Structure 1
Amino acid sequence: MPTPAHALRMRSGAGRGALLAAILASGMVFLDSTVVNVALPRLGDELDATIADLQWTVNGYLLTLAAFVLLGGALGDRFGRRRLFLIGVVWFAGASVLCGLAQDTGWLVAARFLQGAGGALLTPGSLSVLQASFHPDDRGRAIGAWSGLSGVSTALGPFLGGWMVDALSWRWIFFVNVPVAVAVILAALRWVPESRDENASRGGGQRFDVPGALLGALGLAGVTYALIDAPARGVRSLPVLLAVLVGVLGAVFFVLVERRRGDAAMLPTGLFSSRLFSVLNLFTVIVYAALGGFMFFFAVYLQNVVGWSAVRTGLATVPMTAVLLLGSARAGALSARIGPRLPLTVGPVVAAVGLLLLRRVGPGASYWVDVLPGVLVFGVGLTLVVAPLTASVLAAVSDRFAGVASGFNNAASRVGGLLAVAALPLLVGLSGTGYAQSAELTPAYRGAMAWCAGLLLVGAATAGLLVHRPPRDAAPPSQPRDSSPASTPPES
């Protein structure tokens, strides 16, 4: 990327202001990805929600966020990164207000769909404005600060959400986004310069792929609806079968459209000529499905069975995120030395052990004896996975496709969580208002932890058998063999 005419520096006031805008904006999205789980029991009770309603409260957000995040990045390149970033912030804040004002679950779920769409415009923009605006010498430091400080919101999210649920109302986990959004807008208008891909703006570069985004969303929505509604309607009911058909056809036509569009596609299918890229994204879906399923059940179980408050439930997972923040850099350095296969194989096994420890938690459990050991072991396992996975995905393709590869891997992680939250209640026999009954939730929770541990072991086997470094003279996809890529997959 060329150096902007007025590139920002980290030590300048404008540089710090632009960084503040990006961190606060991405922090809102990360916060709403974690904080809602803590609020599920309380909002479920107030809105008289079924388990399907709670599933859609989580999955409505994840579905539109995963389906449109690549499109959001392409729109920013075409029409202006700051412009789309600001539109995303306003959209996200407006949808958050609608969530907080919800009077029934239908209203809440619809607002969560809108919130995810706003996040899809906002998420790629928060990083792309840094990449496009900062001087090359400061770009790495700016992105590193963005990554670290945005991660703090993930760590604090469950605690802050639990406090707001207990002290105020579950509605405040959404209302709190409004003052944050106002601060982001003021900072972005003051300090973030506009930028765009001029080649794309003239029609010569990557085109935004609306048909691909809509078909991808349709495929995900069909499968998700079928999984969530099957317990209530029956697996062979007409609406469930039609949803499966819509999901399958949406996925098939998505692949066909993307293949036809070539490099103009939202997801260039040539990326999958890299066997490593394909395997790593399959691994991502599997591992993040386990993480999403764990987070969904754990927060509800601690409150409705163990009897903890929302704030205590939020605090329970903070050590896991702290381990991730403190250990990810070391895990990335280890992977660079020895290759990704060993960390990606050992990490899920360690995380599975943590889930099996947490499976034993029951009424009257002690945090220090029964909960903390499992949370820490699970966090150590995830730490061995996250940084090596990200680095390996980017190294598996040419530098030209780094942005779309990263975006697709981010979407794959959200799809994994979406599918797990949709499927696990069906697999463990939890339906209706059973999540509020200890006798029904306890066996369902333990079954879900076993399923999630099993998924992690499948992920470990996938990495151990299929993650290999390509031959040393092989070039990443879409890059000539005689070129010199900036990075190659580490030794495995």
Structure 2
Amino acid sequence: METQRRPWPALWALVIGFFMILVDSTIVSIANPAILRDLDADITSVLWATSAYLLAYAVPLLITGRLGDRFGPKRVYMIGLVVFTLASLWCGFSGDITMLIAARAVQGLGAALMTPQTMAVITRIFPPNQRGAAMGLWGAVAGVATLVGPILGGVLVDSLGWEWIFFVNVPVGVIAFVLAWRLVPNLETHSHRFDWLGVALSAIGMFLLVFGIQEGETYDWGTIVGPITVWGLIVSGVVVLVAFVVWQRFNPAEPLLPLGLFRDRNFSLSNVAISLVGFGIVAMPLPLAFYYQVARGLTPTQAALMLVPMALVTGVAAPFVGRLIDRVDPKWIAFSGFVVTALSLWWTASLITPDQELWVLLIPSGLLGLGLSGIWAPLASSATRNLPPAQAGAGSGVYNTTRQVGAVLGSAAIAALLNARLAAELPGFDTRAAEQAGGTGGLPPQVLDGFTAAMSQSMWLPALGFAVGAIVVPFYAKPKVTVDWGAAVRSGEAVGEAVGEPVADAAGDSSGGASAEGANEPAGGAPGSRRRVE
């Protein structure tokens, strides 16, 4: 059909919805002080509004990628978009923190249905030599959305109230639905069997692990009730997740997590790296929001404006990175991005003091945007470029799952660290009292130093996550020439016969190669994309 020969309009239609769901991963951070005050909640309960969203987003991703393969990515994407939009309306009308947490969980489920389909469509309608530019757009959207979230949140909280960070999704969701219906192609489906035991094990393991980490400080890392302890939940979560991986290895039918994908080194390393990105991106805004609003007495809009340099630099630089990764080994772009991001977060942490000139903090904010712009597209391109069409949904589901698992753990870890540092720096001090004091013009001097120190120390957590990412990406394998989804030659091997197209590894097919139906998949109308090297 016509849309199959027009991949770029289809991609633009999909990234509108993708942008919306990524904004909602971070938009709540800037609104947390207002939600904490208006719903009379504590900091742990408020953070569960984010963790519930991320947890409900992460757990189903493995199976929602397969649903896209089985029933078509367009159909599953549109169903998820409807669920997400209606849940956003529910979030806005929530009258207490419990209802908000429940609504955010449903919203996360809608996001889980949508996200894998965006990468699956890229993988299936763009030939390998054009996926770099497509992933550049995808990466730019991902990077800008996670930074625009706090900025947009600040403006909406100040002007209309925190409820509008959710209401704004409704018209955007309607527009995204219409565009997807008109522009996204109905791609060929592939038969899959669903591993319900795997779904149960992954969901239980993730919940136990996240609940234990996030609620640890609440129960003083001891007994919760009866024989149930915080450390017991954490250890149980790890054991269940190990059991999940073992089951995937020995599942006689079709596993939920196709371990064969990890035989490709670049796919494996991209998954490790993107989990660290998810960890750092979610952990980063919270200490900044509390520092600007509580310690320095800024309004949500003023606090959001402190992040403008980050968003602007990312938006400008990310498209250039997308075009560059088809010409330069992506690992060096990603390495530079991780290093610059870690250094900028370290610099920010060192500048968070009670009397710091605020304009000085704009400098590392811009540097942070430059670093993040060099991360998203190289990782996504390296992870998905070699996937055969029949594995597109599974591969993108795994990739997005690892990113969201990192985000969930980042949310839980920053909540635990914030509570621990506040308890150490300000023993017995009430966070809600701190928020009220900050909202009326700043903290009293006797607690300002301790509160600021706790926020500065908490910024080391996302900095550490990105520093580890800089260690991971240099181990990427050297790219190879890819001529078609099922054919690859090493750089310098019959390149003249391969019409000199850009390079990428096709080892992802080593676990079984491109299927016959994959080999006949339309290549988005790209001339010559069928040519193979014999």
Normalized against structure 1, the TM-score is what? 0.83
Equivalent position of 1:453 in the other structure: 463
Choose the corresponding residue for 2:161, options 145, 169, 175.
Answer: 169
Could you tell me whether the CA contact under 8 Å between 2:136 and 2:319 is conserved in 1? no
Q: Secondary structure at the match of 1:267?
A: coil
Choose the corresponding residue for 2:245, options 240, 252, 255.
Answer: 255
Cα separation, 2, equivalents of 1:411 and 1:73 = 10
Q: Counterparts of 1:401-440 in structure 2 under 5 Å?
A: 401-428=391-418, 429=420, 430=422, 433-434=430-431, 437=434, 439=447, 440=450
How far residue 374 of structure 1 moved from its aligned partner, in angstroms, is 0.9
Cα separation, 1, equivalents of 2:67 and 2:400 = 17
Cα separation, 2, equivalents of 1:399 and 1:80 = 12
Deviations 1:333-357 (A, max 9, x none): 5555553443343332222221122
Could you tell me whether the CA contact under 8 Å between 2:36 and 2:46 is conserved in 1? yes
Cα separation, 2, equivalents of 1:32 and 1:323 = 21
How far residue 306 of structure 1 moved from its aligned partner, in angstroms, is 1.8
Q: Secondary structure at the match of 2:59?
A: helix
Q: Structure 2 vs 1, CA of residues 154 and 365 (structure 1 numbering), >3 Å: closer, same or farther?
A: same
Choose the corresponding residue for 2:44, options 40, 52, 61.
Answer: 52
Q: Structure 2 vs 1, CA of residues 24 and 278 (structure 1 numbering), >3 Å: closer, same or farther?
A: closer
Q: Structure 2 vs 1, CA of residues 94 and 463 (structure 1 numbering), >3 Å: closer, same or farther?
A: same
Could you tell me whether the CA contact under 8 Å between 2:131 and 2:381 is conserved in 1? no
Choose the corresponding residue for 2:196, options 207, 210, 216.
Answer: 210
Cα separation, 2, equivalents of 1:406 and 1:76 = 10
Could you tell me whether the CA contact under 8 Å between 2:282 and 2:407 is conserved in 1? yes
Could you tell me whether the CA contact under 8 Å between 1:293 and 1:424 is conserved in 2? yes
Could you tell me whether the CA contact under 8 Å between 2:13 and 2:184 is conserved in 1? no
Could you tell me whether the CA contact under 8 Å between 1:71 and 1:213 is conserved in 2? yes
Number of residue equivalences? 470
The answer to which structure, 1 or 2, has the higher relative contact order (CA under 8 A, 6+ apart) is: 2
Equivalent position of 1:108 in the other structure: 100
Range 108-117 or range 346-355, more displaced: 346-355
Range 169-178 or range 414-423, more displaced: 414-423
Could you tell me whether the CA contact under 8 Å between 2:138 and 2:377 is conserved in 1? no
Asked if residue 7 in structure 1 is aligned to residue 3 in structure 2, the reply is: yes
Cα separation, 1, equivalents of 2:74 and 2:513 = 37
Equivalent position of 1:444 in the other structure: 454
How far residue 391 of structure 1 moved from its aligned partner, in angstroms, is 2.2
Equivalent position of 1:310 in the other structure: 300
Cα separation, 1, equivalents of 2:376 and 2:12 = 24
Q: Counterparts of 1:367-382 in structure 2 under 5 Å?
A: 367-368=358-359, 370-382=360-372
Q: Structure 2 vs 1, CA of residues 347 and 263 (structure 1 numbering), >3 Å: closer, same or farther?
A: farther
How far residue 327 of structure 1 moved from its aligned partner, in angstroms, is 1.9
Q: Structure 2 vs 1, CA of residues 463 and 152 (structure 1 numbering), >3 Å: closer, same or farther?
A: closer
Range 350-359 or range 333-342, more displaced: 333-342
Q: Counterparts of 1:120-135 in structure 2 under 5 Å?
A: 120-126=112-118, 128=120
Q: Counterparts of 1:376-391 in structure 2 under 5 Å?
A: 376-391=366-381
Q: Structure 2 vs 1, CA of residues 214 and 339 (structure 1 numbering), >3 Å: closer, same or farther?
A: same
Cα separation, 2, equivalents of 1:458 and 1:121 = 30
Could you tell me whether the CA contact under 8 Å between 1:155 and 1:322 is conserved in 2? no
**One-letter code aligned to 2:507:** P
Q: Structure 2 vs 1, CA of residues 10 and 136 (structure 1 numbering), >3 Å: closer, same or farther?
A: farther
Q: Structure 2 vs 1, CA of residues 351 and 148 (structure 1 numbering), >3 Å: closer, same or farther?
A: closer
Cα separation, 2, equivalents of 1:289 and 1:19 = 26
Select the structure of larger CA radius of gyration. Answer: 2
Range 164-173 or range 273-282, more displaced: 273-282
Q: Counterparts of 1:88-487 in structure 2 under 5 Å?
A: 88-126=80-118, 128=120, 153-154=145-146, 156-189=148-181, 191-192=182-183, 195=186, 197-198=188-189, 200=190, 205-237=191-223, 238-261=228-251, 264-332=254-322, 334-359=324-349, 360-363=351-354, 365-368=356-359, 370-395=360-385, 401-428=391-418, 429=420, 430=422, 433-434=430-431, 437=434, 439=447, 440-464=450-474, 466-469=475-478, 476-479=507-510
Q: Secondary structure at the match of 2:275?
A: helix
Cα separation, 1, equivalents of 2:195 and 2:462 = 34
Cα separation, 1, equivalents of 2:469 and 2:244 = 26
Deviations 1:73-96 (A, max 9, x none): 321332343332232122112211
**One-letter code aligned to 2:33:** P
Could you tell me whether the CA contact under 8 Å between 2:329 and 2:479 is conserved in 1? no
Q: Counterparts of 1:66-77 in structure 2 under 5 Å?
A: 66-77=58-69
Cα separation, 2, equivalents of 1:254 and 1:482 = 26
Could you tell me whether the CA contact under 8 Å between 1:133 and 1:193 is conserved in 2? no
Deviations 1:379-437 (A, max 9, x none): 22222322222222235766754543333222222222221221234335146853763
How far residue 35 of structure 1 moved from its aligned partner, in angstroms, is 1.2
Structure 2: where are the runs of 5+ without partners?
A: 424-428, 435-442, 481-488, 491-504, 524-528, 530-534
**One-letter code aligned to 2:171:** P
**Identity percentage over the alignment?**
33
Equivalent position of 1:490 in the other structure: none
Cα separation, 2, equivalents of 1:144 and 1:280 = 15
**One-letter code aligned to 2:399:** N
Deviations 1:158-180 (A, max 9, x none): 33221110011101111122222
Cα separation, 2, equivalents of 1:111 and 1:395 = 35
Range 283-292 or range 103-112, more displaced: 283-292
Range 413-422 or range 139-148, more displaced: 139-148
Q: Structure 2 vs 1, CA of residues 325 and 224 (structure 1 numbering), >3 Å: closer, same or farther?
A: same
Q: Structure 2 vs 1, CA of residues 232 and 141 (structure 1 numbering), >3 Å: closer, same or farther?
A: closer
Deviations 1:219-268 (A, max 9, x none): 21111100111101122322424422441233022212322347832320
Q: Secondary structure at the match of 1:416?
A: helix
How far residue 311 of structure 1 moved from its aligned partner, in angstroms, is 1.4
Cα separation, 2, equivalents of 1:340 and 1:144 = 11
**One-letter code aligned to 1:434:** T
Could you tell me whether the CA contact under 8 Å between 2:340 and 2:367 is conserved in 1? yes
Cα separation, 2, equivalents of 1:45 and 1:214 = 36
Deviations 1:50-82 (A, max 9, x none): 221132111111112122123223213323433
